[in-house]
Structure 1
């Protein structure tokens, strides 16, 4: 695991930067044949290799090389994020909801309606009061548009910097040791958040027995 003293996004950025720096130093960029046999797991294993010594190695890095590597990382993320979105099965003709930056959405589809619960990461709170507004919905009953408080129709919430989290329900905030992106990386954490949401929907009289399990999804904002 990455060092707990650094924010998750920073840890990831620096880990990949170190990985790429190692390639640069040895002029060992992957050849086309190597790319054909490599997997995402290979990249993950390489990142883990450097995680423990990461802070010390980055402290010795040069400004120009770090800036260049961060750019390379951004290029990689620009490729990965659209692929992540494709993992989420969208209910037509509802528009794909936009997750809040510094947070995300937990979504399920039941009886031809999609329910999404906005969540904020630690250190952020909702821009509007949401204590009694646990989720937003899109389906036949809403004319296949989202019941959002915001102008535009797709953005379901805004997570703004805040020392206190008081605008939403207790379950609408990521655990203190996690973020939406962290949750998305671990199947067990995803299942926990989905089960919490399904229980909350059941408590509000929404029967989840006809839920489309293939449409269960967590979407993170960037």
Structure 2
């Protein structure tokens, strides 16, 4: 089996598992001295190193080791996800919107108003018809609460398993060869989705030239 055949998120988790296996082979996780000198780039390089041989290595793994690594990975992801959200500048006093699981949100802030476009991954579709409802808004005109079809006020959309993507606009779906998480990992893919959204907003008469560029953000649901 080739590593390129694996979904990106699965590949990431398996890559982290192999990286942690390096540490557990010597009987312990990295000590404080290793942590002080290591960087995120070091981790990324290790993931690249093992990406081609992951399937065979995981297939040979023992039950106890795989279970331990799965727990360790979940602990790591629980730390990474809040850290990712910190890179998204939130408009005060609007509550931080909740991105749909199996999809995400593309958000921009213009003239003290935040606009977020819900998007679904391939294989999922919106729970409500959104073909003419491209984005949700929070700002002074909405009483600093989100316009949403859902109860609760923060969740802006739901992405349900579906073989067909027909409920939303054509641009409201991540490309078939990508996902929200994959897009978030690529600066070029992020810029592409943000530019698409800005163009769509501009076509509705909103002056995107005054947007807060520091608030451009993509949030993924988990």
Is 1:183 aligned to residue 183 of structure 2? Answer: yes
Q: Indicate the residue corresponding to 1:99 in structure 2.
A: 99
Q: Which residues of 2 match residues 203-222 of structure 1 at below 5 A?
A: 203-222=203-222
Unaligned runs of 5+ in 1: none
The residue that corresponds to 1:88 in the other structure is: 88
Where does residue 157 of structure 2 map in the other structure? 157
Task: State how many pairs are aligned.
Answer: 221
Partner residue, 2:74? 74
What is the alpha-carbon distance in structure 1 between the residues aligned to residue 67 and residue 30 of structure 2? Answer: 21
Cα separation, 2, equivalents of 1:89 and 1:127: 28
How far apart are residue 29 of structure 1 and its match? 2.9
Cα distance in 1 for partners of 2:149, 2:31 equals 50
C-alpha distance after superposition, 1:84-136 (max 9, x if no partner): 11100000000000000000000000011000000000000000000000000
In structure 2, the residue matched to 1:20 is: 20
Q: TM-score, normalised by structure 2?
A: 0.97
Structure-1 residue corresponding to 2:117: 117
Task: Please give the secondary structure, in 1, of the residue aligned with 2:210.
Answer: coil
75-84 or 22-31, which deviates more: 22-31
- Cα shift at 1:28: 5.7
**Match for residue 31 of structure 1?**
31
Q: Name the CA distance, whole Å, in 1 between partners of 2:45 and 2:76.
A: 17
- Mapped to 2, the partners of 1:207 and 1:134 lie a distance apart of 17
List per-residue Cα deviations over 1:165-220 (Å, max 9, x = no partner): 00000100000010000000010100000000000001111111110000000000
The two structures have a TM-score, normalised by structure 1, of 0.97
> Does residue 51 of structure 2 align to residue 51 of structure 1?
yes
Structure 1 stretches of at least 4 aligned residues deviating more than 4 Å after TM superposition: none
Would the aligned equivalents of 2:3 and 2:53 in 1 still touch at CA under 8 Å? no
